């Protein structure tokens, strides 16, 4: 096992229920969590692997994975930071790693071992994260360091940054790769996995299920937009919380011209989404010109395809969609959206003369990296080129 201090992993699953699309996302997250637990267990990086869940999984749990429900832990109502600290104290966790159910669908054993190896056995507190500003995966030694955060964190995203900013904890960031950055949050992320055919066996089985009651994602717009990334004559717009690392990746690895509208990085960690102070150029444009003109007239003048993290624009516009509306927007289902303004935006995006893919933060991060490689693989296959 890398490092001298035993490290335990907690995978958190819960909080997603409701209508058909939400229930399907819940099933996908459960499948992803169990795939992740199995890979982490087999990596040899962890002394114990826990699944901390709001209820028992419907699928069989991999051997050796410890399932603990919130009710069993007496952790109701659920609070992220308090739940983790309770787990640390009751199970005698000395060093810890944690991720959400959908945070590591592409991670393999080497990445888990790298996370634990970077943590090591430090003389002073240390944190290792996949993103220092908005983490989905992180490790902390000693695990009791989490107790420094007051108030206890409500979500995972800001934990590493708060430890670093407020308490001087050493913070190490993992290399930013598609494996460390891809996060399964919304149907647009699932569409990317369905398109490329990459994921663990349980999640892949769900994505390929064509039986009665199964949800079928339309990947055609994503496929058309992704194909533009490998075409020299194309121009692709990427809007939202895109990082400099993803921008640099696209400059190196895509063939097309890239038009970037980067805004509101760190929005969730800073809380500007919650207090409504996030400002968006795209949101202002939609407010001024209307979604039909923006997507139907202006966008085709700027690009041949667009990947849009729509969340900053929605905050700017004062649109506060619930989870069901967010999922329906990302899945391209305007008739399932209750908020009429959001439904109008989605309809305009679907009617655009160029393919427009809407989503959240992961769309302009891990999804772009993943579908760019897929686009090149498809292009090489069409042209009869075989990779090394």
pLDDT tens, position by position, 301-327: 999 999 999 999 999 999 999 999 999
The pLDDT of 250-272, averaged and rounded, is 92
Tokens describing residue 322? 């619930």
Same domain membership, residue 354 and residue 235 = yes
The pLDDT of 227-249, averaged and rounded, is 96
Same domain membership, residue 197 and residue 167 = no
Residues 6+ apart with CB under 8 A from 380: 386, 387
**What domain range includes position 104?**
7-177
| Percentage of the chain lying above the pLDDT 90 cut | 86
Task: Output 292-296 pairs: Cβ under 8 A, ≥24 positions apart.
Answer: 292/344, 292/348, 292/351, 294/348, 295/345, 295/348, 295/349, 295/351, 295/352, 295/356, 296/348, 296/351, 296/352, 296/353
CB 306 within 8 A of CB 354: yes
User: Tell me: the pLDDT tens digits for 154-209?
Assistant: 999 999 999 999 999 999 999 989 999 999 999 999 999 999 999 999 999 999 98
Alpha-helical regions (H) of 331-365: 340-351
Same domain membership, residue 200 and residue 162 = no
Same domain membership, residue 191 and residue 265 = yes
Residue 18's CATH number: 3.90.550.10
Same domain membership, residue 326 and residue 192 = yes
State which of 150, 177, 204 marks the end of a domain: 177
Residue 281's pLDDT is what? 98
Looking at every residue in the chain, the average pLDDT score rounds to 94
Same domain membership, residue 53 and residue 13 = yes
Same domain membership, residue 256 and residue 346 = yes
What pLDDT band is residue 213 in, cutting at 50, 70 and 90? low
Same domain membership, residue 330 and residue 214 = yes
Same domain membership, residue 172 and residue 25 = yes
Rounded to the nearest 5°, which phi and psi values hold at 202? -70, -45
What pLDDT band is residue 3 in, cutting at 50, 70 and 90? very low
Same domain membership, residue 201 and residue 143 = no
In this model, does residue 388 exceed pLDDT 50?
A: no
The pLDDT of 111-136, averaged and rounded, is 94
Same domain membership, residue 193 and residue 168 = no
Same domain membership, residue 144 and residue 122 = yes
User: Whole-angstrom Cα distance, residue 86 to residue 111?
Assistant: 27
Residue 1 lies inside a defined structural domain of this protein: no
In this model, does residue 123 exceed pLDDT 80?
A: yes
Residue 386's pLDDT is what? 59
Torsion of CA 316, 322, 328, 331, to 10 degrees: 70
User: Tell me: the pLDDT tens digits for 26-82?
Assistant: 999 999 999 999 999 999 999 999 999 999 999 999 999 999 999 999 988 999 999
136 secondary structure, DSSP code? S
User: Whole-angstrom Cα distance, residue 325 to residue 342?
Assistant: 8
Q: How many structural domains does the chain have?
A: 2
- The least confident of 86-100, 199-213, 294-308 is 199-213
Q: How far apart are the first and last CA of the chain?
A: 32
CB 321 within 8 A of CB 339: yes
Element (H, E) at 270: helix 267-270
> Of 44, 43, 54, 47, which Cα lies nearest the Cα of 13?
54
User: Tell me: the pLDDT tens digits for 341-371?
Assistant: 999 999 999 999 999 999 999 999 999 999 9
Residues 6+ apart with CB under 8 A from 269: 133, 134, 157, 158, 161
Residue 182 lies inside a defined structural domain of this protein: no
């Amino acid at each position: 096992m890398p490092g001298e201090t035993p490290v335990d992993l907690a995978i958190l699953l819960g909080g997603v229920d409701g209508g058909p699309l939400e229930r399907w996302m819940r099933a996908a997250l459960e499948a992803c969590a169990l795939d992740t637990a199995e890979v982490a267990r087999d990596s040899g990086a962890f002394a114990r692997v826990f699944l901390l869940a709001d209820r028992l999984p419907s699928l069989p749990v991999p051997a050796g994975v410890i399932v603990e429900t919130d009710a069993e832990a007496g952790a109701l109502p659920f609070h992220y930071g308090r739940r983790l600290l309770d787990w640390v104290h009751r199970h005698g966790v000395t060093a810890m790693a944690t991720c959400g159910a959908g945070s590591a669908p592409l991670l393999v054993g080497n990445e888990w071992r790298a996370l634990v190896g970077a943590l090591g056995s430090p003389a002073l507190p240390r944190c290792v994260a996949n993103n220092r500003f908005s983490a989905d995966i992180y490790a902390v030694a000693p695990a009791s360091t989490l107790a420094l955060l007051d108030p206890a964190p409500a979500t995972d995203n800001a934990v590493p940054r708060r430890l670093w900013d407020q308490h001087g904890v050493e913070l190490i960031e993992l290399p930013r790769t598609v494996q460390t950055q891809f996060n399964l949050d919304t149907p647009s992320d699932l569409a990317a996995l369905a398109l490329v055919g990459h994921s663990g066996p349980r999640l892949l089985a769900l994505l390929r299920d064509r039986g009665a009651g199964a949800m079928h994602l339309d990947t055609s717009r994503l496929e058309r937009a992704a194909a533009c990334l490998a075409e020299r004559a194309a121009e692709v717009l990427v809007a939202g919380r895109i990082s400099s690392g993803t921008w640099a990746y696209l400059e190196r690895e895509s063939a097309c011209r890239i038009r970037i509208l980067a805004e509101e990085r760190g929005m969730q960690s800073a809380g500007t989404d919650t207090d409504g102070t996030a400002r968006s150029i795209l949101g202002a444009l939609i407010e001024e010109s209307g979604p039909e003109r923006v997507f139907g007239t202006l966008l085709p003048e700027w690009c041949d395809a667009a990947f849009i993290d729509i969340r900053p624009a929605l905050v700017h516009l004062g649109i506060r969609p619930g989870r069901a509306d967010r999922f329906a927007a990302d899945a391209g289902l305007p008739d399932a959206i209750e908020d009429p303004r959001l439904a109008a935006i989605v309809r305009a995006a679907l009617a655009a003369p160029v393919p427009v893919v809407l989503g959240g933060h992961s769309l302009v991060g891990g999804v772009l990296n993943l579908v760019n490689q897929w686009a090149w693989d498809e292009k090489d296959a069409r042209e009869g080129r075989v990779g090394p």
